[in-house]
């Protein structure tokens, strides 16, 4: 069967396309443009990508057109597919009908931590000899790639609550046929499609209902909604030692490189493990992944050892490079809670000034719903550089996030803050501002105009 992916350069679409190509489907796709790292992923998978979008991109006569949720109903290739009578689907629906229809599927869901936790769980299963399939919304540092069909009885998938396509407003995870669910917590997000927190919660009630009685439902006890959902429906919980959770982790030793964590089920000590990832949120992620793994009867000793060898995911506190004791870090975090947690972890790990560089790019961060929350999220920074929001043309003026106001609010809280319009202006301003000992962390759900790498190159020239 020949599959054509519209919007193939997106992380989810690109990785799904690679998975289907590996399964033997003939896959091609299109996008407005394609950049690394997804261009490298698609090239490695042998997938031809046509740019820009055009009706002619369908001339190769695919059997099925897979539509990304970035596409509107008036998209040129959607209209052409309909004119030709080609059937339309989404990658979540196609996964549910093919890859996930006979697997022991574990869906990792929640507002934060999905990519890291699903990567860690897939790595644990891989290390324990399960040979799982997986589809991750990022690039794990330890697994062979972001996707794998697997030969064992297990599949780990990152479960996104965002809608599926313009013709299917269900959350993506509704299509994933879970036997097991790991829920990291639920906060308000995706203000472009959900009215409020209760509207978001409705989607996770639906996910819980899909998990069968013989499956595992494990959720974070620190999040009131997730914990309550587990308690009321016969699930289990995980958390930090001292919290009343089924699975807990206690840090018993710590240094700049790693923590030693004691893992318990109830009052029973299962064993100790090393954790290289920083931050309280990553401690919780590791406890959740271990709790989910041992609940599926994987060897506890192998699970603990696996976490000790886990090196995280690209774009999650990823060190891009270091020059003359100036460290550049790339982080996907864009929700204010995620920004705050990342800064807490970095503050423990790095000495000297922490300089945050923030691009309001996601559908929610470009809206004013978190205007006040962002003013509080950067408190652990020593300075904050803010770009103008990404394209707000489809957002009403009274609903738009205001970068200038954020800069003003941060100054009122005693933080040096700078608003710059244009990536080049930000790069030059930072280059003139930083000094040895600084840590620069970029927060964006996008490429940030490539200035992370450019800044690193500039620093190498400056200090060579």
Domain with residue 421: its CATH number is: 3.90.190.20
pLDDT digits (tens, 9 = 90+) for 148-179: 999 878 999 999 998 999 999 999 999 999 99
Contacts 24+ apart (CB under 8 A), 32-41: 33/9, 34/8, 34/9, 35/9, 35/447, 37/139, 37/314, 38/9, 38/10, 38/11, 38/14, 39/9, 41/14, 41/15, 41/139, 41/145, 41/146
The CATH number that applies at residue 54 is: 3.40.50.720
Same structural domain, 291 and 374: no
Portion of the chain with pLDDT greater than 70, in percent: 100
Q: What is the mean pLDDT of residues 56-69?
A: 97
CA gap 447, 384 in Å, rounded = 18
Banded pLDDT at 199 (limits 50, 70, 90): very high
Count of positions (residues) in the chain: 464
Q: Does residue 313 lie in a domain region?
A: no
Portion of the chain with pLDDT greater than 90, in percent: 60
More confident residue, 248 or 111: 248
Question: What pLDDT, on the 0 to 100 scale, is given for residue 381?
Answer: 93
Same structural domain, 193 and 334: no
CA gap 285, 117 in Å, rounded = 5
Which run of H or E residues covers position 225?
A: helix 224-233
CB atoms within 10 A of CB 155: 27
- Bridge partners (DSSP) of residue 243 are 241
Q: What is the dihedral of CA 162, 164, 166, 167, to 10 degrees?
A: -140
Question: What pLDDT, on the 0 to 100 scale, is given for residue 172?
Answer: 95
Q: Does residue 351 lie in a domain region?
A: yes
Same structural domain, 103 and 154: yes
Question: What pLDDT, on the 0 to 100 scale, is given for residue 194?
Answer: 85
Same structural domain, 39 and 117: no
Q: What is the mean pLDDT of the chain?
A: 91
Q: What is the dihedral of CA 409, 412, 416, 419, to 10 degrees?
A: 30
Range of the domain at 367: 318-462
pLDDT digits (tens, 9 = 90+) for 2-13: 999 999 998 899
Q: Does residue 330 lie in a domain region?
A: yes
Cα–Cα distance list, 251 to 3, 182, 261, 280 (Å): 48, 22, 4, 10
Whether residue 36 is predicted with pLDDT greater than 80 in this model: the reply is: no
Whether residue 256 is predicted with pLDDT greater than 80 in this model: the reply is: no
Domain end, chosen from 288, 308, 328, is at: 308
Q: Does residue 163 lie in a domain region?
A: yes
The CATH number that applies at residue 230 is: 3.40.1190.10
Same structural domain, 34 and 85: yes
Three-class DSSP labels, 19-59: HHHHCCCEEEEECCCCCCCHHHHHHHCCCEEECCCCHHHHC
Same structural domain, 266 and 351: no
Banded pLDDT at 30 (limits 50, 70, 90): very high
Same structural domain, 78 and 143: no
Question: What pLDDT, on the 0 to 100 scale, is given for residue 190?
Answer: 81
In whole angstroms, what separates CA 378 from the centre of its chain?
20
**DSSP letters for 300-333:** HHHHHHHHHT---BTTSSEEEEEETTEEEEEE--
pLDDT digits (tens, 9 = 90+) for 286-344: 999 999 999 999 999 999 999 999 988 877 778 888 888 899 998 877 788 888 888 98
Question: What pLDDT, on the 0 to 100 scale, is given for residue 449?
Answer: 75
Same structural domain, 334 and 405: yes
C-beta of residue 177 within 8 angstroms of C-beta of residue 102? no
CA gap 415, 379 in Å, rounded = 8
Same structural domain, 239 and 326: no
Question: What pLDDT, on the 0 to 100 scale, is given for residue 144?
Answer: 87
Same structural domain, 279 and 374: no
What pTM did the predictor assign? Answer: 0.82
Whether residue 451 is predicted with pLDDT greater than 80 in this model: the reply is: yes
Whether residue 270 is predicted with pLDDT greater than 80 in this model: the reply is: yes
Domain end, chosen from 89, 108, 137, is at: 89
| Count of domains for the chain | 3
pLDDT digits (tens, 9 = 90+) for 350-401: 889 999 999 988 777 888 888 888 888 999 999 999 988 888 888 888 888 8
Least confident of 130-134, 188-192, 302-306: 188-192
Same structural domain, 138 and 71: no
Q: Does residue 275 lie in a domain region?
A: yes
Domain end, chosen from 261, 289, 308, is at: 308
Same structural domain, 107 and 140: yes
Cα–Cα distance list, 121 to 118, 135, 285, 345 (Å): 5, 12, 10, 21
Question: What pLDDT, on the 0 to 100 scale, is given for residue 368?
Answer: 84
């Amino acid at each position: 069967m020949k599959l054509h992916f519209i919007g193939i350069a997106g992380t989810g679409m690109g990785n799904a396309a690679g998975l289907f190509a590996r399964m033997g489907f003939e896959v091609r796709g299109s996008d407005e443009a394609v950049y690394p790292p997804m261009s490298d992923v698609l090239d490695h998978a042998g997938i031809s990508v046509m740019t820009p979008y055009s009706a002619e991109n369908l001339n190769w006569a695919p059997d099925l057109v897979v539509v990304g949720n970035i596409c509107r109903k008036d998209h040129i290739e959607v209209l052409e597919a309909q004119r030709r009578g080609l059937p339309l689907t989404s990658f979540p629906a196609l996964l549910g009908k093919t890859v996930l229809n006979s697997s022991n599927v574990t869906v990792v869901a929640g507002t934060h931590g999905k990519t890291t936790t699903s990567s860690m769980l897939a790595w644990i299963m891989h290390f324990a000899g399960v040979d799982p399939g997986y589809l991750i919304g990022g690039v794990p540092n330890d697994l062979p790639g972001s996707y794998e069909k697997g030969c064992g009885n297990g599949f780990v998938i990152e479960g996104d609550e965002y809608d599926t396509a313009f013709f299917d407003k269900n959350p993506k995870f509704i299509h994933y046929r879970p036997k097991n669910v790991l829920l990291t917590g639920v906060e308000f997000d995706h203000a472009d499609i959900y009215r409020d927190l209760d509207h978001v919660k409705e989607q996770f009630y639906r996910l819980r209902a899909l998990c069968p009685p013989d499956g595992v439902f494990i959720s974070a006890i620190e999040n009131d909604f997730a914990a309550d959902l587990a308690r009321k429906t016969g699930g289990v919980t995980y958390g930090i030692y001292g919290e009343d959770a089924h699975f807990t982790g206690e840090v018993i030793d710590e240094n700049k490189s790693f923590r030693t964590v004691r893992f318990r089920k109830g009052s029973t000590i299962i064993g100790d493990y090393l954790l290289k990832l920083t931050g309280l949120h990553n401690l919780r992620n590791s406890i959740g992944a271990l709790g989910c793994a041992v609940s599926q009867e994987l060897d506890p000793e192998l699970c603990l050892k696996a976490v000790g060898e886990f090196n995280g995911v690209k774009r999650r506190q990823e060190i891009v490079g270091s020059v003359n004791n100036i460290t550049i870090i790339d982080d996907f975090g864009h929700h204010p809670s995620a920004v705050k947690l990342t800064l807490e972890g970095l503050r423990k790990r790095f000495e000297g000034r922490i300089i945050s560089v923030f691009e309001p790019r996601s559908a929610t961060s470009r809206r004013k719903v978190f205007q006040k929350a962002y003013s509080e999220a950067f408190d652990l920074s020593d300075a904050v550089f803010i770009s103008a929001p990404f394209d707000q043309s489809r957002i009403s003026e009274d609903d738009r996030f205001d970068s200038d106001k954020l800069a003003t609010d941060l100054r009122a809280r005693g933080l040096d803050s700078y608003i710059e319009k244009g990536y080049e202006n930000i790069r030059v301003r930072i280059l003139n501002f930083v000094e040895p000992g600084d840590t620069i962390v970029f927060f964006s759900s996008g490429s940030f105009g490539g200035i992370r790498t450019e800044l690193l190159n500039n620093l190498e020239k400056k200090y060579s």
